[in-house]
Amino acid sequence: MQKLLLLADEAIALGAIDGGLSGVYAYPGTPSTEITEFIQMNRDAQARGIHSRWCTNEKTAMEAAVGMSFAGKRSLVCMKHVGLNVAADPFMNSAITGVNGGVLVLSADDPSMHSSQNEQDSRYYAKFALIPSLEPSNQQEAYDMAYYGFELSEKLGRPILLRITTRLAHSRSGVVRKEMMSQNKTSFPNNPKQFILLPAIAKKNYADLLASQSKYVDNSENSPFNTYYDGDNKKRGIIACGVTYNYLMENKELINGSPILKIGQYPLPRKQVERIMTECESILVIEEGYPLIEEMLKGFLGKSLKINGKLDGTLPRQGELNPDSVASALSGKKAEPVVIPEIVRMRPPALCQGCGHRDMYEALNAVLKQYPEAKVFGDIGCYTLGALPPYGAISSCLDMGASITMAKGASDAGVFPAVAVIGDSTFTHSGITGLLDAVNENANITVVISDNLTTAMTGGQDSAGTGKLEAICEGIGVKKEHIRVLVPLKKNFEEMTSVIKEEIEYQGVSVIIPRRECLQTLKRKKKQ
C-alpha cells in the first residue's frame, strides 16, 4: 500500500474527500488553513465538483455547511478554535436541528498560542452542544476519523466535532488511503420540520437530543477510536487523549505496567472509564488543552479516587504538553529547566521589509505625534505586528473586527482621536457590522482598512472584499468624500499624512484605504 506523506490537516482533507464530501466551507485560520487549501488543489475533489471556495467568515461557513446537509450531502466546516466562537450560533443550533447529510465541524486548537489569542479547548463546545466529538492522535487517525466521520454523523443524526491541535495539524507522517466512497445524492429530511427551530419544534428536537445522549455514550464505548490497554500494575491507571497518547508512548519505560485508556471519541466511554477507576488506585489524566476529563472524573467535591493531572500541577495548566512534561508526570521527577545559552536573543516575527502596512504605520504614527491623546485600536492579521517595535502603534487586539467597534466605544467614552486599523479580509469577516453601528451614530472615528488584497497572515488566501471595499463602505453609509484611497509607498508619505490628518479632523466616520498588494502573494505570482 502506498503511503502518502501528509500533514494531519491534509490527511483530514483527503479523508473527507474519500469519505464522500460534497463541500468544504471555511475561513482561513492557523492551524486549520491547509485543510481547505488541500481540497482546492486536489484533483479528485475537482473531478467531483466539491465546493471549496473560501467563505467570508466561520459563521457563514457553518451555515452553508448546514444548508448542504439539509440537501442531503456531506459537508465539512473548518476553522481555528476562536473561529468556532464566531460560528457558535449556527454550531449550537445545528445540534438541535440535527443533520440530513453528514456534517463534520473541524476545530483546530492552538495550545501554547503559537498563532492565536487564547488556548480555548474545543472539546467543551462539543460537550456544550451535547454532540459527539473525535480527537485523532496521529495522521492516520486524522484521515480515518474524517473518512468515517460522515457516516457517524448520519448514523447519529448530529454534526460531529473533530478536534485537533497545532502539533498534529502541522506535523507530517505516512498515511494510507482508503477506497473512495460515493457522494450522497440530493435528498431532503424525512421530517420537513426538522430544520425549523420555532420553539415548539425546537423543544421536540432538544428532547430528542437529550434522549440520544446514552446512545452517544454507547457508540463511544464501542468505538475503534477508544482503546483499553490493560496492565498488571493497578497502582495507577492512565487516561490519554489525542496527541498526548504519543507523548505517553514516547516514555514507555516510565509506564510501568499501568492500564491505559486511550480516548479518541467523546462523550467519554462510560464502561471503560468505570473500569479503570474501579481497578486502579489512582488515575493520571493526560489531555491537551483544558482539564475537561480531569474535572469530570474529580467531580465537584474532588472526593473521588486520587486524580492527577492539570488541576493539581502534575501537568502544566498552560501551554501544550510535550514528551518531557509527560515524562515528569509519569516519574514524579520535576522536569529540568530548559536552559538556552545566554547569547541567544528573542527573534519575534515582524512585518516584511517593503510591506505596505509599514508605510501605513509610518504615516499614521507621524500624524498621531501631534495628538498625544490618540488611541489606535488594532485587529487580527499581519498588521497586529504593528504593536511591536519600531512602531508600537496599537493599543488593542481583541478579536476579528473589534478594532472598529472598540474605537467606537472609546470614542463614545470621549477618546479623540479614536483610530481603528483593520485588514481587508478581517473587515469583511467581522468589521462591516461594526462600521454600520458607527455610521448610524455618526461616531467620530477614523477607520484605516489596510488593504493588501489578500488574507496574508494565513498564507495569502482570497479575500472576500477584494475590489468591493469602497462600495461596501459607501453602501453602509460612509460619506463618499470621506472614503480615501491611498497607495502606501514611501514616495506618497506626504499625501498619506495629510489625508490621515484631514480625516482625523473630520467629525464623523471616515475610512482610509491604503491599498498595495501583499509582497508575499506578489512574489508567489511572479514565480508561477
Partner 1 sequence: MKTDIILSGVGGQGILSIATIIGEAALKNNLYMKQSEVHGMSQRGGDVQSNLRISDAPISSDLIPLKKCDLILSLEPMEALRYLPYLSENGWIVTSSAPFKNIPNYPEDSDVINEVKKVKNSVLIDVEAIAKEVGNTRCSNIVLLGAALPYLGIPAEYIEDAIKTIFARKGEEIVNMNLAALNAGRGESINRFHD
Which positions lie near partner 1, rule CB under 8 A? 3, 5, 7, 30-31, 33-34, 114-115, 167-168, 170-174, 243, 246-250, 252, 322-324, 327, 336, 338-341, 343-352, 382, 385, 389, 457-459
CB 98, min distance to partner 1, A: 35
- Name the burial class of residue 418, with classes exposed (0-12), middle (13-18) and buried (19+) by CB atoms within 10 angstroms of its CB: buried
Return the number of the residue (225 or 247) whose C-beta is nearest partner 1: 247
Nearer to partner 1, 324 or 502 (CB): 324
Helices (H), 280-353: 292-298, 323-331
Question: At its nearest, how many Å lie between partner 1 and the CB of residue 432?
Answer: 25
Compare residues 8 and 21 and give the one whose CB is closer to partner 1: 8
Q: 455-490: buried (b, 16+ CB within 10 Å) or exposed (e) per residue?
A: bbbbebbebbbbeebbebbeebebeeebbbebebee
Given the complex with partner 1, which of 7 and 152 has the nearer CB atom? 7
**Given the complex with partner 1, which of 199 and 348 has the nearer CB atom?**
348
Shortest gap between Cβ of 320 and partner 1 (angstroms)?
9
Residue 232 CB coordination number (10 Å): 8
CA distances from 387 to 214, 317, 355, 518, 527 (A): 49, 27, 15, 19, 32
Work out how close the CB of 416 gets to partner 1 at its nearest, in angstroms, rounded to a whole number.
32
| Least spacing, CB of residue 163 vs partner 1, in Å | 16
Q: 486548537: which residue's cell?
A: 109
CB of 10 to partner 1, least distance (A): 12
| Angle 322-326-329 from CA coordinates, rounded to 5° | 150
- The CA-atom distances, in angstroms, between 35 and each of 59, 164, 169, 171, 196 are 18, 12, 9, 13, 31
- Which of 33/212 has CB closer to partner 1? 33
* Least gap, CB of 289 to partner 1 (angstroms): 16
Residue closer to partner 1 (CB basis): 457 or 486:
457
Question: How far is the C-alpha of 314 from the C-alpha of 389, rounded, in Å?
Answer: 38
Question: Packing angle between helix 270-279 and helix 213-221, nearest 10 degrees?
Answer: 60
